[in-house]
Amino acid sequence: MTAATRLAEFIVKTPLDECPAAAVTLVCRATLDTLGVMLAGAAEPAARAVRRVMRAEGGLPLATVVGTRWRTSPSRAALANGVAGHAHDFDDTNFALMGHPSVPLLATLLAAGEAEMADGRALVGGYVVGFEVGAALGRALNPDHYTRGWHATSSIGTLACAAAAARVIGLSLSETRHALGIAASLASGLKANFGSMTKPYHAGHAAMHGTLAAALAREGLDASDSALDGRQGYVAAFGGAGSLSESLATLGARWEILESGIAVKPYPSCALTHAAIDALLDLRARHALEPGRITDVEIGVNRVVPDVLVYHAPATPLERKFSMEFCAAAALANGGVDLDSFEDAGAAAPALGALASRVRVIVDPALPDGLEQHAWSRVTVRLTDGTSLASPPRGAQGHPATPLSPERLRAKFLACATRAIAREDAEGLAEQIAELEHVPDIRVLTARLVGDVE
């Protein structure tokens, strides 16, 4: 059995009732978080640029573009919403995928599901199978795939989105296999574009092309059955150290949504900065640290980090999200890192820059090297009086082992969503998402996502 056939069977033949009940709860949490960051990102320059092009090209008004009053075709809406959701880099991650699962998946599911008049159960089922497909491919290909320069959110996420779209629009086994093969040829995304507007475009790219692959397969476009595991197929081209056959053998038995889980971001920056931010905020609070007392900050990181956090003197808000030095300085100077931290700092910029110049990042081979631990950091802060304050290796808040509380997740959602819609609508949306499986028509939910962003 080829990889495409094995995946197609899982996508088509796995009823939601056979998925763990805990998975449904996690989908609801992920949906709340993701729709919040989509709404927050709708006004960002990357999202606006994509919408201008999509408006010019037109499209049947079948799907909602989140945060706006515009409706367009499913693939265009998936692109626009995917870009908006990733615009702040505030969306969740998964360590097997080594990327961002929920924004591409939900951008796909909202657009395709709205056009199909699907219900909440269809959306939840589509999310679960899409997540499992993406994580299974990530488990087989990573970390080599990621460290070679591929942005897995897009390069793997395109196939995950094709799986989700195939499920929600009800493709047959054969059509689903073709959709995966089409998606394999559409997959791309380079880490070299981190810190630019093309990075959030990657999330939209995955959603658009996953949606398009499923639609093309439904209309009869076929693909090779060897597109994934053939001698010149997807795995051979994208590379990886693991075994795809072993990873696919556990589909439906090992649930990655529970095992590797979903890491929700407490800070709108690259996930690889979060453990250090948490550690520095803890030290700042415990020791009443002030920037003038700090002579040196040393942050030990995993070997994958230097190729991601490449901006040591960032010049733009997006570059700052991929600068450990900037994120560490913002945490120490301000006692928090939020959406406003990355905008132009005005009069505070010189002082923040001076503090950032005292931050050193080193690769620490003693840090754990499992996929789930690539984001761990350790921190040492040295003070002017000769004191050294240390925080041992740790992960970050929001990781599966230390999830955000329901209260903190809801607060994040409301803070994000109310940038585009009224608080009353945001609160009503949160109530609907809590019962997502029972929503009779996705359009009931998308009606609350309409805002006045141009």
Model confidence pLDDT, tens digit, residues 33-87: 999 999 999 999 999 999 999 999 989 999 999 999 999 999 999 999 999 999 9
348 has pLDDT over 70: no
Q: Give Cβ neighbours of residue 395 (< 8 Å, ≥ 6 apart).
A: 275, 373, 375, 376, 401, 402
pTM: predicted TM-score of the whole model, two decimal places: 0.95
pLDDT value, residue 346: 54
- Can you give the residue ranges of every domain in the chain? 3-265+407-449, 271-394
Model confidence pLDDT, tens digit, residues 104-123: 999 999 999 999 999 999 99
pLDDT value, residue 241: 56
Region 257-284: mean pLDDT is 97
Compute how many other C-beta atoms are within 10 angstroms of the C-beta atom of residue 3: 26
pLDDT value, residue 347: 46
pLDDT value, residue 312: 94
Q: What percent of the chain has pLDDT over 70?
A: 98
Produce one character per residue of 77-105: b if its CB has 16 or more CB atoms within 10 Å, e if not.
Answer: bbbbbbbbbbbbbbbbbbbbbbbbbbbbb
Distance, in Å, from the CA atom of 268 to the CA atom of 398, rounded to the nearest integer, reads: 12
Region 420-438: mean pLDDT is 96
Confidence of residue 371 (pLDDT cuts 50, 70, 90): confident
Q: What's 3-265+407-449's CATH class?
A: mainly alpha
Distance, in Å, from the CA atom of 202 to the CA atom of 181, rounded to the nearest integer, reads: 19
Lowest mean pLDDT among 100-104, 219-223, 373-377, 380-384: 373-377
199 has pLDDT over 70: yes
Distance, in Å, from the CA atom of 270 to the CA atom of 86, rounded to the nearest integer, reads: 11
Q: What is the DSSP letter of 62?
A: -
pLDDT value, residue 370: 80
pLDDT value, residue 454: 85
Region 188-196: mean pLDDT is 97
Cβ–Cβ < 8 Å for 64, 446: yes
Range with top average pLDDT, 173-182, 300-309, 346-355: 173-182
Q: What is the DSSP letter of 293?
A: G
Q: What percent of the chain has pLDDT over 90?
A: 93
Compute how many other C-beta atoms are within 10 angstroms of the C-beta atom of residue 121: 17
CATH of 271-394, one of 3.50.50.60, 3.40.50.1220, 3.30.1330.120, 3.60.20.40: 3.30.1330.120
Q: Give Cβ neighbours of residue 255 (< 8 Å, ≥ 6 apart).
A: 19, 20, 23, 132
pLDDT value, residue 168: 98
Average pLDDT, the chain: 95
Confidence of residue 243 (pLDDT cuts 50, 70, 90): confident
Distance, in Å, from the CA atom of 81 to the CA atom of 108, rounded to the nearest integer, reads: 9
Q: Are strands 359-363 and 294-301 parallel, antiparallel or unpaired?
A: parallel
